[in-house]
Amino acid sequence: MRSIDHNKKCVIDIETTSFHPFQGRVICVGIKDVQTGETFIFQDDHEETMLKRFFAYYCERNFDEIIGFNIDFDIRYLVGKCLHYKITANGFFTATCTDLMAILNRYKRLNSSFRWGTLDEWSRFLLGKGKLLNGASIPELYRQRRIDEILRYNRNDVQITFELWELIHSVMEGEIYENN
DSSP string of the chain? ---STTS-EEEEEEEESSSSTTT--EEEEEEEETTT--EEEEE-SSHHHHHHHHHHHHHHHT--EEEESSHHHHHHHHHHHHHHHT---TTGGGSEEEEHHHHHHGGGGGSTTSPPPPHHHHHHHHHS---SS-GGGHHHHHHTT-HHHHHHHHHHHHHHHHHHHHHHHHHHTTHHHH--
Closest among 66, 45, 40 to 155, alpha carbons compared? 40
What is the reported pLDDT for 126? 86
Between 134 and 44, the higher pLDDT residue: 44
Tell me the pairing of strands 65-68 and 9-16.
parallel
Taking 60 as the threshold, does the pLDDT of residue 109 lie above it?
Answer: no
Helix axes 119-127, 147-172, angle to 10 degrees: 60
What is the reported pLDDT for 3? 40
Q: What is the mean pLDDT of residues 33-47?
A: 96
Within 13 A of 148's CA, how many CA atoms are on the CB side?
0
Residue 131 pLDDT grade (very low, low, confident, very high; cuts 50, 70, 90): confident
Between 162 and 169, the higher pLDDT residue: 162
What is the reported pLDDT for 113? 52
Residue 97 pLDDT grade (very low, low, confident, very high; cuts 50, 70, 90): very high
Neighbours of 6 (CB within 10 A): 8
Superfamily for the 9-178 domain = Ribonuclease H-like superfamily/Ribonuclease H (3.30.420.10)
* pTM of the shown model: 0.86
Q: Which of 71-75, 113-117, 152-156 has the lowest mean pLDDT?
A: 113-117
Q: Where are the domains of the chain?
A: 9-178
